[in-house]
Amino acid sequence: MKTPSQMSEESMQRMEARIPELAGSAVKRAYLQALTTSGKVIEARNGQLIETTAEGTVRVIRSIAKPVAVTMGAKRVRARQA
């Protein structure tokens, strides 16, 4: 079994710099695959929950609550409904 060769810092930084590009293409591929297999995709866009179909129809399902800023380490408890 071969032992892995050492990678230079420069080549490691080049590879790490490609992570956002690779992640973006993976998300796009997953989006298109979901449209192909199920015929629709639901995503959050501009504060709304949106359904997009393979035919290109876009439907707003509902508005999404605005995000709440939480400080690191804080604990939040959802209020119980009566």
Query: How much is the pLDDT for 15?
Result: 94
DSSP label at residue 72: T
Query: What's the predicted TM-score (pTM) here?
Result: 0.62
Task: Output the average pLDDT for the chain.
Answer: 89
Q: Is the dihedral of CA 22, 25, 31, 36 positive or negative?
A: negative
Residues 17-49 pLDDT 10s: 999 999 999 999 999 999 999 999 999 988 899
Distances from the Cα of 62 to the Cα of 1, 40, 49, 69, angstroms: 56, 16, 5, 22
Query: How much is the pLDDT for 65?
Result: 85
Is the model's pLDDT at 52 over the cut of 70?
yes
- Give the three-state DSSP class for 76: coil
- Between helices 19-38 and 9-17, what is the axis angle to 10°? 30
Query: How much is the pLDDT for 1?
Result: 60
